Amino acid sequence: MDFALPDNRVLGWAEYGDPAGVPVVYLHGTPGSRLSRPDDAALVGVRLMTVDRPGYGRSTPVRRPTLLGVADAVGALMASLGIERFGVVGFSGGAPYAVACGARFPQRLTGVVAAGFTGPYRELRTVRGWQRLQAWTVCNIPGLGRPYVTRAAAWYAEDPLKQHRELLASGQDTWMQPSEESNLEGARQGAAGLVSDWLATDIRPWGFHLRDVPCRVLIWAGRHDPGRAVADAPLIATQMPDAEVRISENAAHTPSPAHWRGMLTWVKGG
């Protein structure tokens, strides 16, 4: 479905689960699309809304993508549906956007789940040495950030399933399931969505601090996640007013259906 945003951009979105259930917005990983969602078995009692971020699927790209801009789009969609209170769940690259919703309109949220969340490296100071110098260069030299991420994201336009096939073949992510349809839909406009994600999360300042998220937040990570999610989780939690950490011992990056059920029950307030 398409929703016309106040600035005349299009927001692609979809709905799953129980129409009479508790409303929850799900923000897909990077890359992905509105077709991404937790396992259907986890959606009992949940009315799940999913969205395409700018440049993915059916959503209009933006010149200057930001985390808070996506939060504003989510808030506008939910207001158009007459939904005042709802939960937000962000997975992997979608987690920073979920946290941004917590900064933008915390009073409207039953809770925020950030699953597989890599925190803001500027705030947590988790990037050091050569990586820190490289990050500073890309982020601070005018005109360098967009060309850099555009080159890095080119593979997604050429072969949207390349990364997905590699992850499946590695066998390291126990609960990862084939989701070719979502990845292909995410690349409907080439690599525009992936570029936007990297600009918003890695190149530009987030526009808020972790301490600016006063609502309840659950930070989930799988013990065997190969990235920084496990190490970042306690660092993030100490910066937030009302956050808790949940580390699942039998998972890597992707939650199982049972993990999703637990997170969705939590975000509903149950």
* CATH at 98: 3.40.50.1820
Structural domain count, the chain = 1
Residue 142 Cα distances to 99, 135, 148, 194, angstroms:
27, 13, 12, 20
**Rounded mean pLDDT of 158-178?**
89
pLDDT number for residue 136: 58
pLDDT number for residue 32: 96
pLDDT number for residue 171: 87
181: left (phi over 0), alpha (psi -120 to 50) or beta: alpha
Q: Which residue has the higher pLDDT, 139 or 31?
A: 31
* CA–CA separation, 177 and 243 (whole Å): 29
Three-state SS string over 69-121 comes to HHHHHHHHHHHHCCCCCEEEEEEHHHHHHHHHHHHHCHHHEEEEEEECCCCCH
Q: Residue 42: give the domain boundaries.
A: 2-268
For the segment 71-109, what is each residue's pLDDT rounded down to a tens digit? 999 999 999 999 999 999 999 999 999 999 999 999 999
For the segment 124-161, what is each residue's pLDDT rounded down to a tens digit? 888 766 566 566 566 777 778 889 899 999 999 999 99
For the segment 208-238, what is each residue's pLDDT rounded down to a tens digit? 999 999 999 999 999 999 999 999 999 999 9
